[in-house]
Amino acid sequence: MPTQTAPSSPPTTPPAVTGARAWLPVGALSLGIAILVASEFLPAGVLPALAADVGVSEGTAGLAVAATAIAGAFTAPSIAVLLPRADRRLVLLGLLLAAALSNLAVAVAPGFAVVLVGRLLLGVAIAGYWSLAFGAGVHAAPGRQRLVASALAFGTSVATVVGVPLASVVGDTVGWRTAFGGAAVLSLLSAVALAVALPSVPAHPTAGLRMLREALRNRLLMAGIGFVVLVAFGNFAAYPYIRLAIDRVDPGATTWMLLAWGVGGVVGPILAGVLARWLRPLTAAAPFGLAVALLLTAVAPSVPVLTVAVVLWGVSLNAVPAATQLWVARAEPVRTESAISLQVTAFQVAITAGSALGGVLLDGYGVRPLLVIGAGAAVAAGLGWAFVRLPRA
């Protein structure tokens, strides 16, 4: 059974804050992550036009999304090591400015090489922001961990639901470059909002390489990170091909079925925030829910059954980031910054690996085996969280 490494100093729990003192900084952080995640998925909404304009195939242009995830996997654990003493507020502002520069670079890119560089920079911004945002939010709103985690996950879910269709509409109406230019402007506006709402956030005294090494020695935390890899891998082995799974049942239902997934995606983090006081059952239930949803999607004989599966998929998947963020913070209450950075790395590695495996298997075996493989990985993650005991809050 994994055990928790003893913290170097006992964590303190300041009294909870309420009202605008909690909501303004947390809302600004949530807005920032929403803009970053929407920027991450922008290419999916404008892919044909982007590919044609910069002179590459659509498959090659799809690397613009993969590059972001790969850069994020390397950035998440290293940003605190490179900036151990920097005010986290300034780092977060710098990352939003980097996202603005990234989107602007893509908007004016003369060729695909510049697009790729811009997307790598965005990966740095997203992973760094995710790694630091939870700790900054808890510092600004002490005692409101559940609010911070669910707000950040809510921002991500809204961006995932709205980002691709909105980019598609803007791209079709005024051009894909305008879509990226708009994302650059929104990144700047979110930086302004964060500068106004978030107070100074000093770095933890042990932040940096020492904190990361100590977090890596926490066997309980590393078990949880392994479960994160499993559940994220399970989803992203199947999710890029959700449209194919829907088309198998009814090609005419694709648009509103994806909307149903999005509605579930918005409900997921809210539900996780409400149920977070029962953290161990929650972290186990979300992967089990995802597994049931994937299996139902694989065997759905009709649109009503598929609708239930797709909504459950959206709810379960989008409850995972908030639940697991709270879980790793509980498993490593002193070195939370490093714990969250490892969670972000786990997600990025799993996204890359799951999407790659899905792409390899899809042509030869179709979409159903991907859904079954994803369900198996999710069940393994749920069992892990069900049997690993967390320390008391």
Supply the Cα-derived Rg of the chain in whole angstroms. 20
Higher-pLDDT residue of 393, 376: 376
pLDDT of residue 376: 96
pLDDT of residue 206: 61
Higher-pLDDT residue of 272, 168: 272
User: Among residues of the chain, what percentage have pLDDT more than 90?
Assistant: 35
Higher-pLDDT residue of 390, 271: 271
80-112: b or e for each residue (b if 16 or more CB lie within 10 Å)? bbebbebebbebbbbbbebbbbbbbbbbebeeb
pLDDT of residue 228: 93
pLDDT of residue 189: 96
Mean of the pLDDT values across residues 169-191? 90
Mean of the pLDDT values across residues 218-242? 88
Distance of CA 11 to the CA centre of its chain: 27
User: Which positions ≥6 away from 386 have C-beta within 8 Å?
Assistant: 280, 281, 284
User: Which positions ≥6 away from 304 have C-beta within 8 Å?
Assistant: none
pLDDT of residue 29: 94
* Res. 3: pLDDT tops 60: no
Residue 22 identity? A
Q: What is the DSSP string of 93-136?
A: HHHHHHHHHHHHHHHT-SSHHHHHHHHHHHHHHHHHHHHHHHHH
DSSP 86: S
Identify which of 90-104, 147-161, 342-356 has the greatest average pLDDT.
Answer: 90-104
Q: Give the model's confidence band at 12: pLDDT under 50 very low, under 70 low, under 90 confident, else very high.
A: very low
pLDDT of residue 382: 94
First to last CA, the chain: 19
pLDDT of residue 67: 80
pLDDT of residue 23: 82
- Both tokens of 358, joined, read 């899905």
CB 147 within 8 A of CB 20: no
Fold of 20-197: Growth Hormone; Chain: A; (1.20.1250)
Q: Name the burial class of residue 235, with classes exposed (0-12), middle (13-18) and buried (19+) by CB atoms within 10 angstroms of its CB.
A: buried
Q: Give the model's confidence band at 253: pLDDT under 50 very low, under 70 low, under 90 confident, else very high.
A: confident
**Do 209-387 and 20-197 have the same topology in CATH?**
yes
* Res. 18: pLDDT tops 70: no
DSSP 11: -
pLDDT tens profile 299-353: 999 999 999 999 999 999 989 988 998 898 888 887 877 888 888 888 888 888 8
* Res. 239: pLDDT tops 70: yes
Identify which of 53-62, 98-107, 237-246 has the greatest average pLDDT.
Answer: 98-107
pLDDT tens profile 281-295: 999 999 999 999 999
Mean of the pLDDT values across residues 125-151? 87
Mean of the pLDDT values across residues 214-242? 87
Q: Give the model's confidence band at 84: pLDDT under 50 very low, under 70 low, under 90 confident, else very high.
A: confident
pLDDT of residue 21: 66
Q: Give the C-alpha separation, 126 to 32, whole Å.
A: 9
Every domain of the chain and the residues it spans:
20-197, 209-387
Q: Give the C-alpha separation, 373 to 133, whole Å.
A: 32
* Res. 10: pLDDT tops 50: no
CATH number for the 209-387 domain, one of 3.40.50.920, 1.20.1250.20, 3.40.50.170, 3.40.1190.20? 1.20.1250.20
Higher-pLDDT residue of 234, 257: 234
Higher-pLDDT residue of 91, 1: 91
Higher-pLDDT residue of 2, 179: 179
Tell me the average pLDDT of the chain: 84
